[in-house]
Structure 1
Amino acid sequence: MSNTFFDCHAHINSPSFSKENIEIIVNKAKEKNVKGIISVAETYEDCLDVLNVAKQYSKIILPGIGLHPIQPLVDENGQRLDKGGRSSTLDEVYPVLDLIKEHQKEIVCIGEVGLDYSPQFLKNVEEEKIIQKQIFEKQIELANELNIPLNVHSRSAGHYAIETLIEKNAKNVVLHAFDGKPGYAQKGLQAGFYFSIPPSIKRSPQKQKLVNILPLDRILLETDSPALSPEKNTINEPSNVIISCEEIARIKNISIEEVARITNENALKLFPKLKNII
């Protein structure tokens, strides 16, 4: 039997993918034996879009909804700009929490949520860090209450994200594209968290070092499409999830089949609703 894969973190509703192209992207993924794609959200509008896209492609796409710590900038007409961003505000999380409650039976995870301390996005640094943490904590609390896994973003804040998750007693967690130090990752492992690895591992010494210290039973595959592609300045797609698998196999000196099998088992443990589409 040929290898099958789950892409545990992607953005299928991204403006980088036109509505017409989604079908092409999904078909390419199917050709590469991708059996499930978890499409996550960043804004309230994303949440609505992700839910709709998952309904249209229910045999392969499952929705994750949540409020990202960074929100896109918009022009005077309310159109999303390609570049830049700002820290999320507390009033933005409440409609998302309501949406999560409303769609709790459909969603496979709460995500993408977390912390982002990238200096280019923060103006009132200490105040915005406090607000990001409050937003993150509210979503962790709801995940605990509803027993829904968390799909976590932690750019330039890996140590703080892991500390917050542990403080709030988060149980079912994947840290996506973790960019922190191996020592911080060890704390996440001790807490029982998973780590998902994107195709950018091919060009990232940091991700390669991370995979080297992670046990295979704590690794998932992801693409973060359209970002984190195997080559710089190219649009990533879920079909590239096989590249993550190949690189993990190379680094750990084991077969691609073994990586595919174990990461699939991990994905099904963390995201039981994936069983609905296989």
Structure 2
Amino acid sequence: MAGGYVDCHCHMTAEEFSQDRADILERARKGGVQALVSVTEHAGELETLLHLSDRYPSYVMPCFGVHPIQSTADGSHSVTMQIGLDFTPWLTPTSKEREEQLRVFQKQLDIAKQMDLPVNVHSRSAGRQTIAFLKEQGAEKVLLHNFAGRASVALEGVQAGYFFSFPPRVANNDQREKLIRRIPLENICLETDSPALGPDRQERNIPSNIFISCEYIARVKGLSPEKVCEATAHNAFRLFPKIRHKMNNRY
């Protein structure tokens, strides 16, 4: 692929990559990934990601935040800092928990606005609420990763200028076909969400699997994979302009 893919949401500091992280990143390069945005899920990963981005300064782009419900190493949940909303009924059954998520989500949005940074947002079982809240808060630079809401809700995000990214797992989910068909290519990015959401639930997902997302989106939209790769990379550079700046420093 000319230029190559941009993986806009993966987790290279995850424990699943602790033994072979360098090899996985090299495999991603060889697989055509020109840059990747690595997202933290809990505070214990922040220092690890800083070291990783220092080691690969023009390749691994750090994205700091904490997952709304993901457990930390000590078994506690990280609801007091987050990168979005997760209203999965069996995980956040009470209105108090949901209100706490909204409160701290607003805090992180405020920080992003103050620093003029984009937000990389988790919205499981909360697509409508997340987009409504983002619009209410005046968020402009937004990626809704692995979005699984209704197409009508996604189009509200499109009107607000938001982007949507999809991991390899969508190729096995016909329910996403209508959604992807309705979202303009100008608002789509690629992601893997590695080490999760790969093509096979039993296997660890890796960034080099990003071609699966690209080819699936191309098939749904009746376009060539090359066109989708080029357009989604362009979208990633629009949303994350520091990626291009850091990549230019390679030369």
Q: What runs of 5+ residues in structure 1 fail to find an aligned partner? A: 94-111
Cα distance change, pair 73–272 in 1 and its aligned pair in 2 (3 A)? closer
The answer to whether the 8 A contact 2:3-2:34 is kept is no
| Residue pairs, 1:5-24, within 5 angstroms | 5-18=5-18, 20-24=19-23
TM normalised by structure 2 equals 0.93
Deviates more, 1:225-234 or 1:211-220: 225-234
Provide the C-alpha distance between the structure 2 equivalents of 1:235 and 1:212, rounded to a whole number of angstroms: 28
Q: What runs of 5+ residues in structure 2 fail to find an aligned partner? A: none
Identity rate of aligned residues, in percent?
39
| Residue pairs, 1:160-239, within 5 angstroms | 160-239=129-208
The answer to whether the 8 A contact 1:68-1:114 is kept is yes
Residue 192 of structure 2 aligns with an amino acid whose one-letter code is: T
The answer to whether the 8 A contact 1:39-1:62 is kept is yes
1:226 positional shift: 0.5
The residue number in structure 2 matching 1:116 is: 86
| Residue pairs, 1:58-207, within 5 angstroms | 58-72=57-71, 74=73, 78=74, 86=77, 88-89=79-80, 93=81, 113-122=83-92, 125-207=94-176
Residue 68 of structure 1 aligns with an amino acid whose one-letter code is: H
Provide the C-alpha distance between the structure 1 equivalents of 2:45 and 2:133, rounded to a whole number of angstroms: 25
- Out of 225, 248, 254, the residue aligned to residue 217 of structure 2 is 248
The answer to whether the 8 A contact 1:86-1:122 is kept is no
Q: Please list the CA deviations of residues 157-210 of structure 1 after superposition, one character each: whole Å capped at 9, or x if unmatched.
A: 111110110000001000000011111111111111000111111101222221
SS at match of 2:144: strand
Q: Please list the CA deviations of residues 218-257 of structure 1 after superposition, one character each: whole Å capped at 9, or x if unmatched.
A: 0000000001101222211100111111111111111111
1:3 positional shift: 5.1
The answer to whether the 8 A contact 1:16-1:226 is kept is yes
The answer to whether the 8 A contact 1:41-1:66 is kept is yes
TM normalised by structure 1 equals 0.85
Cα distance change, pair 239–62 in 1 and its aligned pair in 2 (3 A)? same
The residue number in structure 1 matching 2:56 is: 57
The answer to whether the 8 A contact 1:87-1:122 is kept is no
SS at match of 1:175: strand
Q: Please list the CA deviations of residues 57-91 of structure 1 after superposition, one character each: whole Å capped at 9, or x if unmatched.
A: 223101000122113055xxx3x5xxxx74613xx
Deviates more, 1:172-181 or 1:231-240: 231-240
The residue number in structure 2 matching 1:272 is: 241
Provide the C-alpha distance between the structure 2 equivalents of 1:174 and 1:206, rounded to a whole number of angstroms: 20
Cα distance change, pair 204–3 in 1 and its aligned pair in 2 (3 A)? farther
- Out of 258, 261, 277, the residue aligned to residue 230 of structure 2 is 261
Provide the C-alpha distance between the structure 2 equivalents of 1:165 and 1:17, rounded to a whole number of angstroms: 32
The answer to whether the 8 A contact 2:72-2:78 is kept is no
Provide the C-alpha distance between the structure 1 equivalents of 2:48 and 2:128, rounded to a whole number of angstroms: 31
Cα distance change, pair 73–57 in 1 and its aligned pair in 2 (3 A)? closer
Q: Please list the CA deviations of residues 81-134 of structure 1 after superposition, one character each: whole Å capped at 9, or x if unmatched.
A: xxxx74613xxx3xxxxxxxxxxxxxxxxxx710001123225x1000000001
SS at match of 2:8: strand
1:144 positional shift: 1.1
SS at match of 2:121: strand
The answer to whether the 8 A contact 2:66-2:78 is kept is no
Structure 1 runs (4+) greater than 6 angstroms displaced: none
Cα distance change, pair 50–73 in 1 and its aligned pair in 2 (3 A)? closer
- Report the number of matched residues: 247
